[in-house]
Structure formats: C-alpha cells, structure tokens
Amino acid sequence: MATDEILQAIPHRPPFLFVDEVVEQSEESLTAKRHVSPDEAFFEGHYPGNPIMPGVLISEAVFQTGAIFLNRLLAAELEADPEMVPVLTKISDARFKSIVRPGDDLYITVTLKEKMGRFIFMNGSVKNGDGKRVMTVTFSVALAKAPPQV
C-alpha cells in the first residue's frame, strides 16, 4: 500500500499507482519499491497462463519514481508556483533485461543527470528482489503550467 508521503508527492492513485514506498533517497537519486501482486488486473490479459508485467507499466513505475524525486528536488520551485507540474518530454534507450512476474518485488532507482532551466534529465533503473536488472531507461521532464481543472 502506498504511503501518505507518496500520495502527497504525486497525483497518481490506484489502480494506476506503481510505487509502494520510498526505500532510499539522496540529493542525486531516489529508490522506491513496488510489490507486483498476483492480483493485478493486467495479468488477466497479458500473456494469460504465463503472466508477465507489461514493459510500459514497468516504465511507468520509473516515471512515477522520478516524479516523487522531483517533488523533493524542486520543492521550493513547486511551492512558489503550484501550477507548475513535471511533464514527461522524452524517453530514450529503454532496455528490458528480464521478465517481471506476479509476486516479484521491484526496486526502482532514478538518478539526476542534469537540470537545465525548466528541463530535468534523469536515468532510471529497475532491479528485482534478487538484484537482477530488469530495465534501464533515460528520460527527461519539463516543468509546465498545469491545465485548468475541468
């Protein structure tokens, strides 16, 4: 179950929340954990009988971890202008190294590469509970004005 800390940092909510807890953080990186429950609805239709977590959802876990990291990194900027939100602008070099199955634990780490004005560049890495690499990705976000709520 997601902690209040995560729910305050990002707008995502179940069933589209793919981070359970923050396990480690520094000024340059943040590591989160996600337990992949066998009850996840996507397992019903993604390789029935041989369930595999979709790569796009593993990627989403990385981007959500990045959003939590940015919420901390940019706290002063976001507090000064609450209409600003980080928006994903680029995904590159995504590589999937191993399969994620029901019951796996994922450890998702994002690391700051560079911040240039309103653009932030990061690396993401996912490992399973045995320390085996699942995925790597490079991505960037930009701070943008949030659209008005309807």
The domain that holds 71 is classified in CATH as 3.10.129.10
Distances (CA, A) of 59 to 17, 91, 105, 143: 12, 10, 15, 20
What totals of helices (H) and strands (E) does the chain contain, helices first? 3, 6
Residue 27 located in a structural domain? yes
* CA–CA distance, 59 with 68 (Å, rounded to integer): 14
* CA–CA distance, 130 with 150 (Å, rounded to integer): 45
* CA–CA distance, 140 with 120 (Å, rounded to integer): 6
Which positions are annotated as active-site residues?
46
Burial of 65 (0-12, 13-18, 19+ CB in 10 A): buried
* CA–CA distance, 129 with 35 (Å, rounded to integer): 10
For residues 13 and 6, the answer to whether their CB atoms sit within 8 Å is: no
At residue 36's C-alpha, the angle toward residues 34 and 42, to 5°, is 125
3 state DSSP class of 81: coil
Residue 150 located in a structural domain? no
Number of folded domains in the chain?
1
Residue 59 located in a structural domain? yes
Query: What pTM value is reported for the model?
Result: 0.93
What is the chain's pLDDT, residue by residue, as a tens digit (150 residues)? 468 889 989 888 999 999 999 999 999 999 999 999 999 999 999 999 999 999 999 999 999 999 999 999 988 888 888 888 889 999 999 999 999 999 999 999 999 999 999 899 999 999 999 999 999 999 999 988 877 666
Domain of residue 53, residue span: 4-145
